[in-house]
Amino acid sequence: MRILIVEDEKRLADILHKGLEEEGYAVDVAYNGEDGLFMAQNEPSDLIVLDIMLPIVDGMIILTTIRKSGVKTPVLLLTARDSVMDKVSGLDSGADDYLTKPFLFEELLARIRALLRRNSEIRTSTIEIADLVLAMDTHEVRRQGSLIPLSAREYALLEFLALHKNKVQSRTELTEHLYDYHFDLDSNVIDVFINRLRNKIDSDFEQKLIVTVRGAGYMLKD
Amino acid sequence: MTNSIKAKIVLFYMAVLFSVLSAFGVLLYFSLVKIIYNAIDSDLMSRSKALATLVQDNDDESEFNFSDDVMWEYHSQKSKSFFQIRLSDGAILEKSESVGTLELPYTPQKVPVTFQPLLFKGEKTRMINFRISREKDGPEKNHILIIQCAEDISDSLRLLKSYRIILSVAGLIIMLISSSGGFLIARKGLQPVKDISRAISRISESNLSERIVMTHIPAELKSLAIAFNHTFDSLEKSFNRQKQFVSDVSHELRTPLAVILSQSEITLRKQRSAAEYQEVLAGIFEASQLMSHMVQKLLTLARLGADKVELRFEPVDLNEVISDALRILKPLALQRAIAIELPDIRPGACMVSGDRAALLEVFMNLIDNAIKYNVTSGKIAIAFRREQGAVTTDITDTGVGIPENDLDRVCDRFYRVDKSRSKKIDGIGLGLSICDDIVKLHGGSISIRSQLGKGSTVSVRLAAAQHVENSDLNEKGQDHGNTSVQRISGGRSGGRT
């Protein structure tokens, strides 16, 4: 899952970048409104964390602009403005959630998870695919009850596939959603990670869950 | 009740109405009395004249043979009309049957006609004494006759009495009706006042923007309503300012707080290297420093706002204050290669009356701004102007300038021209606000002129100190380093460079 953070307070943006990355998200950061607007329109993000008071282009303008141009990415407003009016106008302008500073990172994570679930059929923090169980809040993956340790990247890939289960995801899609824009899209790193996942999840079991669709990509199938 | 306008209006109205009504009633009553008595009197008069004609036509001395058609109204014992004819000595020549065995009283008099009230047969009666002389015989005493005609007027008096009662009752009813009318009028008259007070009580903290609607307010109360609206205007303004300030404070404190929280929380999620901890701690330290700085300034502002600051007024040499400020700010100016021009004036030439420490803070802030918002290798020129008991200090920079529509807001709390809190220039937007407060407490003023891209001039006008010319040259060369010590009297020598 790829998250765009638009926040002009550099220290906050950087620590969120670090924290989210450690949670397995791919994170892009824009420190001003102009960059934020460009990235929101041109980078395939799964979620945008948006501050309202931004240099050059205001956060609300970013929000209305991307909504007008048809970007449906969930937007979480993260701002110091806490009046009801601010919240109402933010949500009415197309934001999906609103969190006021200061906030707890745990809460931000929970809200991000909730927003990311929204576009998938999964409604709880656990995904079950055959005998595979993903706990999205703790990042624990079990198959037939036994815990499978995964790295953050591996988990992120598995979660993305699980959230879109039974649907083919192309290599490009996977790279775009799992890596920030500094990453070289031509790389076959996805194949490497798919192999690692296969070794950890499928190799010891009869039913193979990760399916390669030739010429199209990968899919998690139950 | 006694202190109610409505009651006063009604009472006053009733008093006026009562006097008018009673005067009118008395007038009506007495004119009726007069009319009735006139009618009775002229009736008595014409009767006595008729009798007189009969008497004069009669030749017989003692026998008046009055015909029945003249006498009929006197015949009955029960008749209420009486007559009597006397000689001038009082002897009765003739009397009507209605008088019966009694007689009408007689007091001799000289005038030909008198009327007199009397009680006859127990009834109120009016009588005329009509004196005539019989012309045929010579002027003898006997030939003067007194014709007395009387009429029982108790019926008329009863009429008057009932008229009196009717008048009083009518008056009372009118008083009652019009008192309720007066009450209604008073209420109607006071309705706009009620409306205004209702409008005022409707305006509360949550809807301070509401105003008394002027359309239905009578001219007499317009000025009151306008005064109230003005009061509400200024109340709303200061209340909004306060609200804005509080929300600004929370906003400005939220961001560093969010940094501190996120940094500590995220870092604590796992084991980190020492270098990482160090970096995070440095970040937290920086954010807390910013917060502490802000809280300090906020406290200063709060104290200034609550007039809790005790300013010790003394003659202060502005040149010296500015020299002190420049010495502290020198490293910052050097860092940005900014040249500062201070005019070479003799010590004590620019003495103002003020609190030395507070003024130092003002000029520190202003010069700090002039450095921070200047271009690299820019210039700052400081100049003094003396005019009409005041000293104006102009601080001109060659900086970025302030857009015209921001000029009158730059002294507002947390107001920064760059609304996105650009982090390139550190500051929290409280400096000018504090300066403005301090200068205002000194009875002075700060004005700013600016040209976008060319620079700004901040002018601080302060009241000049009086009688300082002699006292400021005594302590030359002392206390140079100590900028925060306040001196109770006397000026301090300048001359530092």
Q: Detail the DSSP E strand segments found in B210-355.
A: 314-317, 339-341, 351-354
Candidates B257, B258, B422; nearest CB to A55? B422
In this prediction, residue B116 carries a pLDDT of 87
Q: Are B252 and B291 in contact (CB under 8 A)?
A: no
Q: For the residues A54-80, what does the mean pLDDT come to?
A: 89
pLDDT of residue B62: 56
Q: What is the pLDDT of residue B472?
A: 41
Query: pLDDT tens digit string along B161-200?
Result: 999 999 999 989 988 898 888 888 888 888 888 888 888 8
The pLDDT of A121-145, averaged and rounded, is 85
A104 at the B interface (CB within 8 A)? Answer: yes
Helix (H, G, I), strand (E, B), or coil: what is residue B246? helix
Walk me through the domains of chain B, giving residue ranges and CATH numbers.
5-161 (3.30.450), 219-305 (1.10.287.130), 314-463 (3.30.565.10)
Query: Quick check: B299 contacting A, CB < 8 Å?
Result: no
Q: Does the pLDDT of residue B212 top 70, yes or no?
A: yes
Q: Is B390 strand, coil or helix?
A: strand
CA B433 to chain A, closest CA, distance in angstroms equals 22
Write down the pLDDT at residue B275.
Answer: 92
Give the distance from residue A221's alpha carbon to the nearest chain B alpha carbon, in angstroms: 33
> What confidence score (pLDDT) does residue B61 get?
57
Is there a contact between B421 and A100 if contact means CB atoms under 8 Å apart?
A: no
Question: Touching check for A105 and chain B: CB below 8 Å?
Answer: yes
Best residue of B246, B281, B288, B420 to probe chain A, by most A CBs closer than 10 Å: B420
Instruction: Provide the Cα torsion B157, B159, B160, B162; round to 10°.
Output: 120
Cβ-based contacts of B252 with chain A (< 8 Å): 80
Is residue B419 scored above 70 in pLDDT? Answer: no
Q: Give A-chain residues touching B286 at CB under 8 angstroms.
A: 11
CA of A127 to nearest chain B CA: how many angstroms apart? 24
pLDDT tens digits for range B427-454: 667 778 888 888 888 888 888 888 888 8
In chain B, which residues have their Cβ closer than 8 Å to the Cβ of A82? 250, 254
Report the gap between the CA of A22 and the closest CA in chain B (Å). Answer: 9
Least confident of A51-55, A191-195, B309-313, B360-364: B309-313
- Mean pLDDT for A147-169 is 88
* % of chain A exceeding 70 in pLDDT: 97
* β strands within A93-196, DSSP E: 97-100, 126-129, 132-135, 140-143, 146-148
Scan residues 261-280 of B and list those with Cβ closer than 8 Å to A.
261-263, 265-267, 269-270, 280
Closest CB to B262 among A82, A83, A105:
A105
At B2-24, the pLDDT tens digits run: 578 888 888 888 899 899 999 99
CB within 8 Å: A16 and B255: no
Average pLDDT, chain A: 87
Contact across the interface for A80 and B250, Cβ inside 8 Å: yes
Q: A61 — contact with chain B (CB < 8 Å)? A: no
Determine, for residues B258 and A80 on separate chains, whether the beta-carbon distance falls below 8 Å.
Answer: yes
Which pLDDT score, from 0 to 100, does residue B497 have?
Answer: 33
d(Cα A123, Cα A117) in Å, to the nearest integer?
Answer: 6
- How many Å apart are CA B491 and CA B470, to the nearest integer? 10
| Residues of chain B positioned with their CB less than 8 A from the CB of A53 | 419-421
Residue A36 is predicted with a pLDDT of 92
Beta bridge partners of B149: B83, B128
A33 to chain B, any CB pair closer than 8 A? The answer is yes
- Give the pLDDT of residue B194: 84
Mean pLDDT of chain B: 79
Which of A60, A52, A56, A104 lies closest to A78 in space, CA to CA?
A: A52
Taking only the tens place, the pLDDT of each residue in B220-248 is 888 888 888 888 888 888 887 777 777 77
Mutate to test the interface with A, among B243, B247, B266, B273 (most CBs of A within 10 A): B266
Which residues of chain A have a CB within 8 Å of the CB of B287?
Answer: 11
CB contact under 8 Å between B251 and A100, yes or no, is no
Tell me the C-alpha to C-alpha distance, in Å, between residue B349 and each of B77, B176, B260, B386: 126, 82, 50, 9
Q: Strand A47-50 and strand A26-30: pairing?
A: unpaired
For B247, name the nearest residue in chain A, comparing CA atoms only: A81
Backbone dihedral region of A153: left (phi > 0), alpha (psi from -120 to 50 degrees) or beta? Answer: alpha
Tokens describing residue A10: 């550099």
Sort strands B455-463 and A126-129 into parallel, antiparallel or unpaired: unpaired
Q: Which helix (H) or strand (E) holds B95?
A: strand B92-95
Nearest Cα residue to A43 out of A94, A7, A78, A5:
A5
pLDDT over threshold 70, residue B495? no
Shortest distance, CA B387 to any CA of chain A (angstroms): 43
| Residue in A33, A83, A104 nearest the CB of B261 | A104
Q: What is the mean pLDDT of residues A67-77?
A: 91
Contact B262 A55 (CB under 8 A): no
Interchain proximity A8–B423, CB inside 8 Å: yes
Helix axes B5-57, B154-202, angle to 10 degrees: 160
The confidence score (pLDDT) of residue B434 equals 83
User: Is it the case that residue A12 has pLDDT exceeding 50?
Assistant: yes
pLDDT at position B224? 85
Please enumerate in sequence order all residues whose Cβ is within 8 A of that of A99, keeping only pairs 6 or more positions apart, or say none: A76, A77, A78, A79, A107, A108, A111
pLDDT at B483 over 60: no
The C-alpha angle A120, A123, A126, rounded to 5 degrees, equals: 100
From the list B252, B266, B283, the residue facing A19 with the nearest CB is B266
Instruction: Say if the Cβ atoms of B258 and A82 lie within 8 Å.
Output: no
Residue B151 has pLDDT above 90, yes or no: no
What's the pLDDT tens digit per position in B90-127?
Answer: 788 778 878 778 888 888 777 888 888 888 888 888 98
Kindly indicate the confidence band of residue B205, based on its pLDDT and cuts at 50, 70 and 90. Answer: low
Best to test chain B binding among A29, A35, A101 (most B CBs inside 10 Å): A101
* B426 part of contact set with chain A, CB < 8 Å: no
Tell me how many residue pairs between chain A and chain B have CB atoms under 8 A apart: 78
Quote the CA–CA distance of B420 and B254 in Å, as a whole number.
15
- Residue ranges and CATH numbers for the domains of chain A are 2-118 (3.40.50.2300), 126-220 (1.10.10.10)
Chain A CB within 8 Å of residue B250 CB: yes
Q: Report chain B residues whose CB lies below 8 A from the CB of A33.
A: 420
The shortest C-alpha distance from A100 to chain B (Å) reads 9
The minimum CA-CA distance between A166 and chain B, rounded to whole Å, is: 34
Query: What's the gap in Å between the CA of A222 and the closest CA on chain B?
Result: 34
A9·B254 Cβ contact <8 A: no
Judge whether A118 and A96 are in contact, CB under 8 Å. yes
Q: Which of A12, A53, A58 sits opposite B259 (nearest CB)?
A: A12
Chain B residues whose CB is inside 8 A of the A9 CB are 255, 258-259, 423
What is the pLDDT, as a whole number, of residue A77?
A: 94
How many Å lie between the alpha carbon of B263 and the closest alpha carbon of chain A? 6
Determine, for residues B261 and A102 on separate chains, whether the beta-carbon distance falls below 8 Å: yes
User: Higher model confidence: residue B416 or residue A84?
Assistant: A84
| pLDDT at B140 (0 to 100) | 53
Q: Say how far apart CA A143 and CA A149 lie, in whole Å.
A: 11
Give the range with max mean pLDDT: A11-15, A80-84, B68-72, B403-407. Answer: A11-15
